[in-house]
A and B are shown apart, each in its own frame.
Chain A
């Protein structure tokens, strides 16, 4: 994500060539470009993570809803004594900066507060909702990477031919369809008209969820050997996956096409062609490898927008994941829950991008020095 930002320079590679006695072991360990690079990226991610906690904190302080009435209800809030006790207990009489550190302290102990709507600890709610969304998102991203990169490669190689025009048109339509409408249309067609797929939810009403290990029904049912439950979960997964895949594939095709075109234009690819390497060898050995870095960045971005897409899709399919939870929480101004979702999703996004940055560093040696 923020490669351009790291202005730090890695130790010159010459240092590694010096005899071991010339440096202490500790410095030499950190002087290794890979380690240094990962360290810097990790530090940046940690700072961003801290920033996310500040943003959620500020947001909740900006929202013009009295936390007192929200937590106590109208009746109790009219009693000055109760209010005074609550304000003192919740630390609302302290300056904002102190409140922030109290909040951060609780956060470090895994305490995200109590949801005003469900009256459960937010961590418990998130623990329920997260696996549902993770199952869906992982499914979508895996299918999208395979389809998106494959189609992007075809479109780039056959630029301006018919297949390129077709792939571009379909991918543009894919990113233009309103997710919520597509979800409804797919639901209408495959459930209501054709009866090919089951209705909303993650399992049929009659089925009991498998014993919880990961919280993802497909994985859990396989782990406990309940094959019928597995099939049920997979068929329920099909329609929301289809909905979200169209957009994500569209996005990935467009970016991977551009990235691959960029590389096709490079001198080293021309040189590989000129020395007579087979087309496939050039494509997979040179072109794909060279364009992996920008494509990885886009996968990270796609993951982020996928999490947004789930809000609308989950709403239509009553999926009961993070998206639906976020929607219920924000419309009810249930601030602890909203902050919880924001933190969790922000953290996932930052960690995903950290992993991508690290993979980047291994795949593309140029990045480490930059």
Chain B
């Protein structure tokens, strides 16, 4: 590739309004975030109050119907955002910090430390996520906090791996070496010279991970290992609804809630990745020309 050619075919990031997936994603995610914040002020039934006729199908007064204990499904579905989003975000932040720390240490120091850390990460990978999470959650006892701990313990390797390879490639850049020569210790070198380089890939990874962590959290709740019964949580609502198929609305709406919020995060994350990743943003399309 000659220099003038690269100048002409400069990678072009399409503005966000040209990317329909991103718009849909932003709409879904902001809907759920706004709901999470304002839901207590909405004129809704109490999500825990067993005030209504049990198992009445969707109608004008109960657009999503009522459940077996006579609770309003619409109210429970909207309140469910409060039982999922904050915990999923907390979970991603914990594993991001844990994974970045471990990955940065492995990548920066290399050698034996790197080998040991990455082999431990391989081990965690070798176990199927949900089996490990089930064991930890079952051992700690059900509860959303314990589910978060269980998932954090098994999801750090993902971040550690990516951070490690990013740090490895940044470590020997001239300006980083120059920083070290100027007397920067490992900590300030990592923070000042390397962190800015790895921040945007990490953001993308976290965005895509949010979706899968929501799926795992609600999956654990579905199995009865996450949120405990009276709480309005999407996974456990689906779990209760699956018991009775003739009342389809019990599982349908909380399931759609999970689907929309995860789709939202994934659409945004995918668009971000495509825009920030120089390889896929600038791919040659001559083959079908």
| Chain A interface residues toward B at CB < 8 A | 1-2, 4-5, 47-48, 51-52, 55, 59, 62-65, 156-160, 165, 168-169, 172-173, 175-181, 184-185, 187-188, 192, 254, 258, 261-262, 264-265, 267, 269-270, 273, 279, 282-283, 287, 304-305, 307-308, 311-312, 315-316, 326-327, 330-331, 333, 338, 341-342, 345-346, 349-350
Contact = CB atoms under 8 A, between A and B. Distances in A.
A341 B131 contact: yes
B131 A342 contact: yes
B225 A178 contact: no
Interface string B1-40: 1000000000000000000110000000000000000000
A249 to B, nearest CB: 15
Main secondary structure on A side of the interface with B: helix
Nearest to B129: A308
Interface in B129-143: 129-132, 134-135, 138-139
A187 B211 CA distance: 24
A311 B245 contact: no
A78 B126 CA distance: 39
Interface stretch (B53-61, B85-93, B261-269): B261-269
B266 A327 contact: no
Nearest to B165: A4
B123 interface: yes
A47 B279 contact: no
Given A265-B284, A331-B223, A349 B126 contact: yes
Given A48-B122, A188-B245, A342-B131, A178 B258 contact: yes
Contacts of B109: none
Nearest to B212: A175
Main secondary structure on B side of the interface with A: helix
A282 B270 contact: no
Given A55-B123, A172-B267, A264-B283, A184 B242 contact: yes
A25 to B, nearest CB: 33
Contacts of A331: 134, 138, 223-225
Given A64-B139, A312-B130, A349-B126, A181 B287 contact: no
A172 B266 contact: yes
Contact of A55 (B127, B284, B286): B127
A158 B283 CA distance: 11
Contacts of A330: 131, 134-135, 138
Contact of B130 (A176, A181, A188, A308): A308
Interface string B274-289: 0000011011111110
Given A181-B238, A254-B270, A331-B225, 13 more contacts: A51-B122, A55-B127, A64-B139, A165-B21, A176-B266, A178-B219, A179-B219, A181-B255, A185-B255, A262-B280, A264-B283, A279-B287, A326-B134
B118 A5 contact: yes
A262 B130 contact: no
A172 B263 CA distance: 7
The 7 closest A-B pairs by CB, nearest first: A181-B255, A176-B262, A308-B130, A330-B134, A63-B139, A176-B263, A261-B283
B43 interface: no
Interface in B90-146: 115, 118-119, 122-123, 125-132, 134-135, 138-139
B280 A157 contact: no
Nearest to B242: A184
A312 B219 contact: yes
A181 B259 contact: yes
A279 B165 contact: no
Nearest to B164: A4
Nearest to B25: A172
Contacts of B204: none
B211 A176 contact: yes
Contact of B122 (A1, A168, A185, A342): A1
A5 B139 contact: no
Given A178-B238, A262-B279, A312-B219, A51 B286 contact: no
A261 B277 CA distance: 12
A282 B289 CA distance: 13
A62 B150 CA distance: 13
B61 to A, nearest CB: 25
